[in-house]
Amino acid sequence: MCIAYFAWQHPQTPDLLLCALFNRDEQLDRPTAPSHFWENDQRILGGRDLVAGGTWMCVGTQSGRAAFLTNFRELRDPPCAAGAGAAGKGEPNHALGTMDSFRLGTPSRGELPVGFVRGGAEPKRYLHSLHGGEAYAGFNLVVADLVQQRMAYLCNRGSGRPEPLPPGLHAITNGLRDAHWPKMDEGWRQLQRLLDQGAFGAASSSSSSGRNQDSSGGGDAAGTTGGGACSNGSDQQSGDRGGARGGKDSSSGGGGGGGRTSIPWEQLFALLSDDRLLERDPAKLPQTGLGDEFEAAASGIFPIETGQGLFGTRSQAVLAVWRDGRGELRERYRDDKGGDWREVQHSFELPLGGSQGDAG
């Protein structure tokens, strides 16, 4: 039940290339590493699923690429493609689309973001190479070449065709991109309100005309060792944050930004921590075959009780990349041992040379 909100080349933050907010919802006891520079490939910054080895969100610090993934909520997964993937890795036949049980022979969705940031294909070409993602359990995948300033999207339960994403404010959760689930609309409104109020420290010269529209008019363990092969990468890890909402200041720190746009970190994490049940009316809830009671419980941005046992938001991440190549990733996550919320922060630089590209 993950959700992502992201401002891509938004006109109200002209020197900010990307600001992405992500809640990862998963089994609370599933072995997971918070965001770090991967020990076996320090060009990659992101969290890691320690069972299947993939990720839900990552940045390639040398390639200048980023990608993130949500599952597609469905009652059952389709049959896997014969011979796909390696034995022992796969995806579940599970209502929530999580990765707590595996079907042998099915490739892991978590490999898809990694494949993109390690490669060199432009976004739509990479998504085309997945052949509609037929071999995988349901997913929504967003990939961005930050050097060429191109972003694209693929859902393997929709048309199966890659779509370029235009500049603007977007929201993606566990259905199609153009759906209007309560948590999508509410988070989008909150983020747009922050933009309009000047919370990012930039002039609010124009507003988006609508959600997902072109608003410009046209180891494997938590790493604290530094950047390794990445350019000027650095990590900082903090202790107990007093809950997902808690934390020390950094309410408007500029992070890596060299321009006039700053990031309202605390306000963005507060958005991701909104635990209100947003909708009870069955007519306004998504119909995924799981029943109205479940859909209502899962309608919020930060679900806390879905009736699915030890399941909920495992981590919250805010990723910011400025046009000058500076970037920062902050993640708050549940500690595997005691369930306390902790925070890790990473600064990095990407090889952005000011190249101009289109949305595709």
CATH topology of domain 3-349: Penicillin V Acylase; Chain A (3.60.60)
pLDDT of the residue at 263: 98
pLDDT tens, residue by residue, 127-178: 999 998 888 999 999 999 999 999 999 999 888 899 999 999 999 988 788 8
The structural domains of the chain, with segments of one domain joined by +, span 3-349
- pTM, to two decimals: 0.77
Residues of the chain with pLDDT under 70: 1, 75-105, 202-259, 276, 278-281, 284-311, 338, 354-360
pLDDT of the residue at 108: 93
pLDDT tens, residue by residue, 187-237: 999 999 999 999 998 544 444 434 444 333 333 333 333 333 333 456 666
SS (H, E, C) the chain: CCEEEEEECCCCCCCEEEEEEEEEEEECCCCEEEEEECCCCCCEEEEEECCCCCCCEEEECCCCEEEEEEECCCCCCCCCCCCCCCCCCCCCCCCCCCCCCCCCCCCCCCHHHHHHHHCCCCHHHHHHCCHHHCCCCCEEEEEEECCCCEEEEEECCCCCCCEECCCEEEEECCCCCCCCCHHHHHHHHHHHHHHHCCCCCCCCCCCCCCCCCCCCCCCCCCCCCCCCCCEEEEEEEEEECCCCCCCCCCCCCCCCCCCCCCCCHHHHHHHHCCCCCCCCCHHHCCCCCCCHHHHHHCCCCCCCCCCCCCEEEEEEEEEEEECCCEEEEEEEEECCCCCCEEEEEEEEECCCCCCCCCCC
pLDDT of the residue at 287: 66
